[in-house]
Amino acid sequence: MSDYWEELHKRYDGLDWTEKPSIFAEEIVEYLPKNGTLLDLGAGQGQDSVYFAQAGFAVFSTDIEVGIIERADEYSKEFFGKLDKPRPGMRFQVVDLQKKFPFEENTFNIVYSHLALHYFNKESTEKLFSEIYRVLKPGGVLAFLVNSVSDPEFNTGKKLEEGYFDTEGTHKRYFSVKDAKYFAKNFDVILCDDQGETYKDQDKGVHNLIRFVGKKLE
Ligand SMILES: C[S@@+](CC[C@H](N)C(=O)[O-])C[C@H]1O[C@@H](n2cnc3c(N)ncnc32)[C@H](O)[C@@H]1O
């Protein structure tokens, strides 16, 4: 599966949407605390990590693929270099979303993920949300964007379990609003709808991604 990500990242390298914050990041920043530590899960090229670093958060940018983490590190240096500013404190680290996170409990003010929480079966997805809950500080905020059951590609490929398919060389889960609330049941919902969009898939008619923002319940 890691070859799949390496290949995909090579294809995306340099595309204009990889060098600006996502629509989702700009939409949800208003719901976040004004500063603090932010863990970006499955950060890819790191465009949102850089956006949040520039907004004043201490960002931990993570992914499973070493090459893309190195690329994100370089991109952040180039980005702040062009602004002629020192790069704020950013950390880059391998984190596998299917394993226990290498962080203590109550570490982060914010956990953020743009299109990376939807690759796992139900059991792994439940464990993943428990890990997110564990590493968030009390009152911390979780914000994520995931595939939706309204996507044109929903129900294509081989069905592995309800809402979960073997498709285009990877496994993908498609969420409804209800599913997002189910997995994030330990969070007080601030925003949960199917109005999410990305620059990459706007032209493919994808306008109904699942957006979630919630606060860790004590
Ligand atoms: C669709 S990309 C999203 C990247 C970035 N957040 C963005 O929106 O441009 C999904 C990302 O999840 C990462 N990923 C896939 N499986 C993972 C896993 N088990 N643990 C951590 N990251 C993973 C991939 O390497 C890839 O960077």
* pLDDT digit string, tens, across residues 42-63: 999 999 999 999 999 999 999 9
Given this model, what pLDDT does residue 19 score? 79
For position 158, which CATH number holds? 3.40.50.150
Classify residue 205: in a domain, yes or no: yes
Lowest-pLDDT range, 106-110, 146-150, 157-161, 205-209? Answer: 205-209
Confidence band, pLDDT 50/70/90 cuts, at residue 3 = confident
| 115 Cα–ligand 1 center, Å | 7
Counting ligand 1 atoms within 8 A of each CB, the residue from 11, 52, 68, 119 with the most, and so the one to mutate, is 119
- The closest-lying atom of ligand 1 relative to the alpha carbon of residue 46 is 5
pTM of the complete model: 0.95
Classify residue 182: in a domain, yes or no: yes
**Distance between CA atoms of residues 91 and 196, nearest Å:** 28
Given this model, what pLDDT does residue 2 score? 64
Classify residue 149: in a domain, yes or no: yes
Classify residue 11: in a domain, yes or no: no
Classify residue 100: in a domain, yes or no: yes
| 92 Cα–ligand 1 center, Å | 14
- The closest-lying atom of ligand 1 relative to the alpha carbon of residue 40 is 6
Domain count, the chain: 1
Going along the chain, which residue ranges are E strands?
36-40, 57-63, 90-94, 108-114, 136-146, 158-161, 164-167, 170-173, 187-196, 209-216
| 63 Cα–ligand 1 center, Å | 6
Given this model, what pLDDT does residue 168 score? 75
Confidence band, pLDDT 50/70/90 cuts, at residue 218 = confident
Given this model, what pLDDT does residue 4 score? 82
Residue 131 predicted with pLDDT over 90 = yes
- The closest-lying atom of ligand 1 relative to the alpha carbon of residue 43 is 6
Classify residue 17: in a domain, yes or no: no
Which residues form ligand 1's pocket by a CB distance below 6 Å? 5, 22, 42-45, 63-65, 68, 95-98, 114-116, 119
Classify residue 97: in a domain, yes or no: yes
Nearest CA to 150 among 114, 189, 204, 214? 204
Whether residue 142 contacts residue 111, with contact meaning beta carbons closer than 8 Å, is answered with: yes
| Domain boundaries, position 100 | 2-6+24-216
Residue 161 predicted with pLDDT over 90 = yes
Average pLDDT, the chain: 94
Classify residue 104: in a domain, yes or no: yes
